[in-house]
Chains A and B, each alone.
Chain A
Amino acid sequence: MGRIVVKRPGGKLLDVEVRETEKGLEVTVSGDFFAFPEDSIARLEECLKGSSRENLRERLGECIPEDAELVGVSWSDVAEAILRAATE
């Protein structure tokens, strides 16, 4: 499991870490971006708890809060970084 740091020109820093625990994967999403509502990132992390590498892509589809708005990064940036970190 690993950590991916992404910074697109004109965007904000996105730092994703995926750890393997006894209860499955644990994902941490951090950085200097903005998310509205602010709890959307915590909700995503909570929802992904216990995922496995095998079902992570599917769980991402269910857990990304489409009603929340990100500024400086996109939800597809977040999903891609999580998938990359999980395969490192």
Chain B
Amino acid sequence: MAEWRLILGRCPADLCMAIDEALMYSRAMGAPNTVRLYVFDPTAVTIGYFQRIRDSVDLVEAGRLGINVVRRISGGGSVLHDARGEVTYSVVVGEEDVPRDVEDSFRHLSGGVVEALRLMGLPAEFVPVNDIVVKGKKISGNAQARRPGVVLQHGTLLYDADLELMARILKAPKAKLETHGAASIAERVTTVSRELGRPVTVGEVVEALRRGFEKHFGVTLVEGQLTPLEYSLASSLRWKYRSNEWNYLR
């Protein structure tokens, strides 16, 4: 069975995003396929590459609460990464490892999270373009970035996220909520803990994700570390994710 690298950890938002980008360049230079399972610490918000920051996040409230907002290299929407209730995953693979059709590749790369939720006893399903839902409510959002020969998909899994905080910080455009038939963000999303009706630990979620990815991709995940080159690259890229030029691009 093929082996993919598994990297676990916690990181502040700028470093979390810098590592994902560094792994794309590293994969292009021959690094193995890699799965990261990580927690944003402290709690932070990421926004999609094409989003307007002021329309996506209540910057005053985020500032008041000391929550950093960082732009991703991937498209998609804004995400509250709650340090106490959310696990983020990244999968960095070769283009040849995913279906050629982009929408199919979203479904394929989201499969590890769907499998993890099913292993925890939840009837999860992928809903195009990039959501994973349980009983009609979103529990995971997923986003992709691509570089020549390499695909990065990263996404969120809410296990006990503070949905009230999410609703306070993230601005959901009316047009978006209307098409989902929801009045607010809190109505549209759910968590593993809420669906199972019991507290869920981060360890339980990380273990389910690990098993879910292994089962879905038919690989063995072998825990490893960033190489010195990857770490050095991430350290350089980190400055981009701290800069206003990048975060206020739109």
Which residue of the partner chain, among A32, A41, A71, contacts B77 with CB atoms under 8 Å?
A32
Q: Which of B28-36, B142-150, B186-194, B195-203 contacts the other chain?
A: B142-150
Contact B102 A32 (CB under 8 A): no
CB nearest neighbor in A for B178:
A7
In whole angstroms, what is the CA distance A29 to B50 when docked?
Answer: 8
Closest 4 A/B residue pairs (Cβ): A34-B75, A32-B77, A7-B175, A30-B52
Contact A34 B179 (CB under 8 A): no
CB nearest neighbor in B for A32:
B77
Contact B175 A34 (CB under 8 A): no
Contact A34-B76, Cβ < 8 Å, known A7-B173, A9-B179, A71-B102: yes
A4 to chain B, nearest CB (A): 11
Q: Which residues of A contact B204 (CB under 8 A)?
A: none
In whole angstroms, what is the CA distance A29 to B49 when docked?
Answer: 11
CB nearest neighbor in B for A34:
B75
In whole angstroms, what is the CA distance A38 to B175 when docked?
Answer: 24
CB nearest neighbor in A for B146:
A36
| B residues lining the A interface (CB < 8 Å) | 48-52, 55, 73-78, 102-103, 106, 128-130, 143-146, 173, 175-176, 178-179, 250
Q: Which residues of A contact B175 (CB under 8 A)?
A: 5-7, 13
Q: Which residues of A contact B146 (CB under 8 A)?
A: 36-38
Which residue of the partner chain, among B75, B78, B178, contacts A35 with CB atoms under 8 Å?
B75
Contact B176 A41 (CB under 8 A): no
Which residue of the partner chain, among B55, B78, B143, contacts A34 with CB atoms under 8 Å?
B143
Q: Which residues of B contact A36 (CB under 8 A)?
A: 102, 144, 146
If over half of A's interface residues share one DSSP class (helix, strand or loop), that class is named, otherwise mixed; here it is: strand
Q: Which residues of B contact A2 (CB under 8 A)?
A: none
Contact A71 B50 (CB under 8 A): no
Asked if A61 is an interface residue, CB under 8 A from chain B, the answer is no
Contact A7 B176 (CB under 8 A): yes
CB nearest neighbor in A for B77:
A32
Q: Which residues of A contact B250 (CB under 8 A)?
A: 28, 30
Contact A38 B129 (CB under 8 A): no
Contact A12-B102, Cβ < 8 Å, known A6-B175, A7-B173, A34-B144: no
In whole angstroms, what is the CA distance A35 to B50 when docked?
Answer: 9
Contact A33 B102 (CB under 8 A): no
Contact A32-B76, Cβ < 8 Å, known A7-B175, A13-B173, A41-B50: yes
Asked if A15 is an interface residue, CB under 8 A from chain B, the answer is yes
List A residues 41-88 near B (Cβ within 8 Å): 41, 69, 71-72
A69 to chain B, nearest CB (A): 6
Contact A7-B102, Cβ < 8 Å, known A32-B48, A38-B75: no
Q: Which residues of A contact B51 (CB under 8 A)?
A: 30-32
Q: Which residues of A contact B76 (CB under 8 A)?
A: 32, 34
